[in-house]
Amino acid sequence: MNYLKQSSLIAIVWTVILLISNPTMGKPAGADNFYQSKDIKKQNVTFDNQYKMKVAGSLFILKDFDKSKKYPAIIVGHPFGATKEQSANLYAAKMAERGFVTLSIDLSFWGESDGQPRNVVSPDIYAEAFSAAADYLGTLPFVDREKIGVIGICGSGGFAISAAKIDSRLKAIATISMYDMGAANRNGLRHSLSLEQRQKIIKDAAEQRYVEFTGGEIKYTSGCPHEINEKSPPIAKEFYDFYRTPRGEYTPQGMSPLLTTHPTMTSNVKFMNFYPFNDIDTISPRPLLFIAGENAHSREFSEDAYKLAAQPKELYIVPGTGHVDLYDRVNLIPFDKLITFFTESLK
């Protein structure tokens, strides 16, 4: 926590400097994370998962929709460590404008959903949030429960796939800038993490459990940096420009900005046992669409999933884009592709 506090102060100084030198910093062309649609009605909702934990969501429907009809629906999951207000609500609003009932959700332990301690990593319970969302949507009188799809952004792409493998109600799955959080933690990007480094991470987390079990301070790990400089890696700068600037910064009520995006150290190792692409072929014949940026550091995960999946499947590469570009840059996000995919898949 001391490190995070110091980092936060440095980050504030850097942000002020950068904003003075470039007033549009953190707001690249087309970036519209907090998009508000005049045609859409948004309603905050809650529902229980199978473990009786409250899942928080935002329901988006057209203001003039006909309640006597049944509509196809789409569940939208946010990037790992984020909240529904970061990217997920944007996708939900845009898809609702095209006639879908959409529901963005906060994963358990994050945002406004239940789960203690906060920021805990639990891939199974994350996947359960998508099934709980299907429970909720499938019992609404204006939703066709045979036409429920999923959009998973970043880490939620892997969680949505994990859910779809054991929940046949999820009829079509699209992933955006997908991260396989299991592979990313076991191997690092492009297999850059050695076995020795992995073993040290596991050992440190195990030792930290003793500290916390006996009442010591909780430690947090990874997540988006709170400071950047000219020597920061490009990936750190990319995430900082979204999570630590007005472009996409959001802190849930009651949460410290110092903890946003940071999972607990002792639980983060649970990703080592997370293999969302195992048996991904069993999702067939339900269709899968993997969308990734041409220059995205995470592109490898979409490509890996595509190779392992069975038909029908498609890998759609967005030219000239990076990982975070597809979080909020509406001029680059292929919404027409998503509309076509779900219209055809949820007939």
Q: By the 8 A CB rule, do 327 and 33 touch?
A: yes
**Residue 245 domain-assigned?**
no
DSSP conformational letter for 116: S
Q: How far apart are CA 235 and CA 309, in angstroms?
A: 28
Q: By the 8 A CB rule, do 53 and 108 touch?
A: yes
**Residue 102 domain-assigned?**
yes
Chain centroid to CA 238: 16
Q: How far apart are CA 75 and CA 152, in angstroms?
A: 8
Residue with tokens 């220059």: 295
* Joined tokens for residue 230: 């000219």
Element (H, E) at 57: strand 54-62
Write the CATH number for 298.
3.40.50.1820
Give 92's contacts (C-beta < 8 A, 6+ positions apart).
58, 60, 74, 76, 84, 102, 103, 104
* Joined tokens for residue 9: 């102060």
Q: By the 8 A CB rule, do 55 and 108 touch?
A: yes
**Residue 175 domain-assigned?**
yes
**Residue 294 domain-assigned?**
yes
Domain total of the chain: 1
Q: At 278, phi and psi to the nearest 5? A: -65, 130
For residue 175, what are the domain limits?
28-189+274-345
Chain centroid to CA 180: 11
- State the sign of the Cα–Cα–Cα–Cα dihedral 182, 177, 49, 143: negative
Q: By the 8 A CB rule, do 107 and 87 touch?
A: no
Q: How far apart are CA 79 and CA 72, in angstroms?
A: 23
Q: What is the pLDDT at residue 67?
A: 87
**Residue 225 domain-assigned?**
no
- Residue 99, classified by CB atoms within 10 Å of its CB into exposed (0-12), middle (13-18) or buried (19+), is middle
- Amino acid identity, residue 263? P
**Hey, which residues does 315 pair with through a beta bridge?**
290
Residue with tokens 């800038």: 177
Give 32's contacts (C-beta < 8 A, 6+ positions apart).
90, 328, 329, 330
Edge-to-edge strand list for the sheet holding 40-48: 40-48, 54-62, 101-105, 71-77, 143-153, 170-176, 288-293, 313-318
Q: What is the pLDDT at residue 25?
A: 52
**Residue 335 domain-assigned?**
yes
**Residue 76 domain-assigned?**
yes
Q: By the 8 A CB rule, do 106 and 84 touch?
A: yes
**Residue 244 domain-assigned?**
no
- Amino acid identity, residue 345? S
Give me the tens of pLDDT residue by residue for the chain, a chain 347 residues long. 443 444 444 344 334 334 443 444 548 999 999 999 999 999 999 999 999 999 999 999 999 999 899 999 999 999 999 999 999 999 999 999 999 999 999 999 999 999 999 999 999 999 999 999 999 999 999 999 999 999 999 999 999 999 999 999 999 999 999 999 999 999 999 999 999 999 999 999 999 999 999 999 999 999 999 999 999 999 999 999 999 999 999 999 989 999 999 999 999 999 999 999 999 999 999 999 999 999 999 999 999 999 999 999 999 999 999 999 999 999 999 999 999 999 999 99
Q: How far apart are CA 213 and CA 220, in angstroms?
A: 15
Q: How far apart are CA 178 and CA 251, in angstroms?
A: 23
- Over its C-alpha atoms, the chain yields an Rg (Å, rounded) of 19
Q: By the 8 A CB rule, do 125 and 267 touch?
A: no
